[in-house]
Amino acid sequence: MSRILQSLQGYVPSLLRPISQKPASRVSTSITQVRGKKKSSRGGKDPRIQLIHYSLYHPLTPRPLKFSYLRHLRHWTIHRAWQLYKANMRRERELELERMYNSIRDSCEKLKTIGDGGRLYRIAISKQGLGQWGGIGTRIPTEAPGRNGGWDYTYKNQ
Amino acid sequence: MASLRSARPSFLRPLLNPTAASARTFTTSAETASTTASISSETQNAPTKPIDIYHVPRQPYHLSTGIVLSRPPLVTRDLPAFEQAYYVYQRRLDQRLALPFTSAFYFKKKTVAEEEYKAKKKVREQKPWFYNPYDRHNGFKDEIPAGQLSKQGLWFGAGAPELGYQELVETTPSGEEKIMEESQSALGVAAGKTAPERPYPRETEADRTGDFTKLDRKLSRTLYLLVKGEDEGFAGGKRGWRFPTARLQGDESLRQAAERILPEACGTNMNTWFVGNVPIGHHQYDYPSPVAPDPKLPHEKEDPVPILGRQVFYMKARILAGQVDLANSKHGFKDFAWVTKEELRKVVGREYYISNMNMLASR
């Protein structure tokens, strides 16, 4: 399979090739067999297979990026700025979570000191009955709000 | 407590009884039998409650539960300008490094889809933001000069992707117009009556009017419920915007108290979910002057010390649907508002905000 593909590299269907690039003559006794082999494995005049080959082996390929000194400097600056930005975002998120956790911990420590023998504290840290997610109506954030206009105000009587 | 007492060795027990200790000397086990009679007679003559060293006196503060009821964000966050510019930059580089689009592979010749593609391609090529990386002379100009993003139609300001969606509809073949045509003709509706469905705007009516009681305001942010009421003993005697708070009753836990208070204070027309048993924050403050203890409460009767202030423990809850209804509020709240963290900071006092800010989400 790979040998056939290699032999087909650079092939452009005749319809799409500019006229100037068409070969003068297709008939040549010395290479008839080779040409014939190529045609049959390309599917002959089957346009679907020709299209697939054209898409995969397009004559125009992306040029490798070659930056001048200043262009490269701009690119490097943007890259560094983005890395910094992402690092700051991550750090902010970590710190916020840490603050929330510390707030929970400090509240539990305070609960221990209220003088009821730690009863409310033990109830607070108890995991009995928990484990099911109760937020079944929670809407996952989307790019735009839903058809109902953003919020359901019609809910009545809990 | 009884079991603990019995676990203590007998020679230590006299030490804990202050009235009896002064009258007694240490005796050996052989002599305890003779002295037990005298000990018991002495305790009967001077009955005093033994000091329990394991008893920690109750703090002289009223216990309260506060409810932090939040509406999480309903839409994705607003992209800052830097992020949008970066994504445009990366998109251009990606276009430079990708193979050209072979439309003949995707759109069969002499079909309606191909016609739509050709028409939209013409529109796309006239757009100011159009970039062809395979253009021999201008393919290298992939950068956009600073400040030119909005002029090129690549940035519409934070939180307005619906304008970008309009451009997308104009330049991308999707077959939607054809489907709309066919469905309209099938239903008997006149052609061209309805356009392809577009996303609803992220800025709602509530944003424009600035109505703080609405829950579809600031869809990309978390909203917290604040209530205004005349509660005796609010911080420093001031009455203002606070989280709904009320005192614990009986022997209920913090979560039970919160689940009782919320419908009592804010109505039953809300679908809420309390997240766990753990308090997410606390706040202690003193009343302007100490309050007399209530003899009806067992722990206040036991330790009749004037109550200095209040200890509040906040429980986290989420609202899933519905709205606050203060009509039959049992806790005297007069007004409510749904605010973001910054708005909360402006409305409540500095001290209150500092005690609360760590438990609130910034987005």
Residue-wise pLDDT tens digits, B59-100: 899 999 999 999 999 999 988 889 988 999 999 999 999 999
Who's near B142: CB < 8 A, 6+ residues apart? B92, B93, B95, B96, B131, B133
pLDDT in the model for residue A40:
56
Per run of 10 residues, the mean pLDDT along chain B (length 363 residues) is 50 50 45 49 61 75 96 93 90 92 93 94 92 91 85 66 75 84 76 70 92 95 92 56 93 96 95 96 91 86 88 97 93 92 92 94 94
B155 close to B88: Cβ distance less than 8 angstroms: yes
List the single best residue of B52, B74, B223 to mutate versus A (max A Cβ within 10 A): B74
Contacts of residue B143 in chain A, CB cutoff 8 Å?
71, 74
Q: Is the per-residue pLDDT at A147 higher than 70?
A: yes
- A158 part of a folded domain: no
Give the pairing of strands B223-229 and B241-242: antiparallel
Q: Cα(B263)–Cα(B68) distance, rounded to whole angstroms? A: 14
The pLDDT, as a whole number, for residue B53 is 66
In a domain, A133, yes or no: no
Place of tokens 């910094």: A84
Query: What does the block give as tokens for B266?
Result: 């804010």
Contact residues, B window 297-356, toward A, CB-based 8 Å cutoff: 299, 311, 313-314, 318, 320-323
User: What is the spatial distance between Cα A109 and Cα A118, in angstroms, rounded to a whole number?
Assistant: 10
Residue A134 lies in a domain: no
Q: What is the pLDDT of residue B182?
A: 80
Q: How far is A36 from chain B (nearest CA, A)?
A: 25
Q: The pTM is what?
A: 0.77
Query: Chain A within 8 Å of B162 (Cβ-Cβ)?
Result: yes
Do A104 and B280 make contact, defined as CB atoms within 8 angstroms?
A: yes
Q: What are B296's two structure tokens?
A: 């009806």
The answer to whether the Cβ–Cβ distance between A100 and B358 falls below 8 Å is yes
pLDDT of residue B191: 59
* Cβ pair B276:A135 closer than 8 A: no
CB within 8 Å: A103 and B76: no
Residue A136 pLDDT > 60 = yes
> Is the confidence at residue A74, as pLDDT, over 60?
yes
Euclidean distance between CA atoms B80 and B203, whole angstroms = 16
Instruction: Tell me the two tokens of residue B190.
Output: 């006149």
Residue A102 lies in a domain: yes
Taking the C-alpha atoms of residue B39 and residue B31, their distance in angstroms, rounded to an integer, is 12
Domain count, chain A: 1
Across the interface, of A54, A96, A158, the residue whose CB is closest to B268 is: A158
Q: Is A148 among the domain residues?
A: no
Whether residue A84 lies inside any domain: the answer is: yes
- The pLDDT assigned to A158 comes to 60
Residue numbers of the domain that contains A102: 69-125
DSSP B22-33: HT-----HHHHH
> Does the distance separating the beta carbons of A108 and B76 come in below 8 Å?
no
| Residue at A94 is within a domain | yes
What pLDDT is stored for residue B239 in this prediction?
Answer: 65
Domain-embedded: residue A76? yes
Q: Is A155 on the interface with B (CB under 8 A)?
A: yes
pLDDT score, position B148: 83
B358/A153 Cβ within 8 A:
no
| Sign of the Cα pseudo-torsion (B238, B241, B242, B247, in order) | positive
* Residue numbers of B between 124 and 143 with CB closer than 8 Å to A: 133-134, 139, 143
Q: Which domains does chain B have, with CATH numbers?
A: 61-75+203-357 (3.90.79.10), 81-187 (no CATH)
